[in-house]
Amino acid sequence: MMTKQNQLIPDGTPLRISDSNGIEIKMGDYIKRDVTGNNEIHGTWSIQKVKCQGPFPILSYVTSEKKKVFPADYSACFLSDMYDHKHTLFALDTRDISPPDDDLYVMDKDEAEAFIAAQENPYSEVED
Give the three-state DSSP class for 78: strand
Block mean pLDDT (10 aa), the chain, length 128: 61 91 94 87 91 91 85 86 83 82 88 87 50
Residues contacting residue 41 through CB under 8 Å, at least 6 positions apart = 64, 66, 67, 69
pLDDT score at 6: 55
Which string of b and e fits 97-117 if b means at least 16 CB within 10 Å?
bbbeebebbbbeeeebeebbe
Give the three-state DSSP class for 33: strand
pLDDT score at 124: 47
Q: How far apart are CA 43 and CA 63, in angstroms?
A: 11
Q: Please state the pTM of the whole predicted model.
A: 0.82
- How many residues belong to the chain? 128
pLDDT score at 57: 93
Q: How far apart are CA 76 and CA 61, in angstroms?
A: 6
Q: How far apart are CA 75 and CA 69, in angstroms?
A: 10
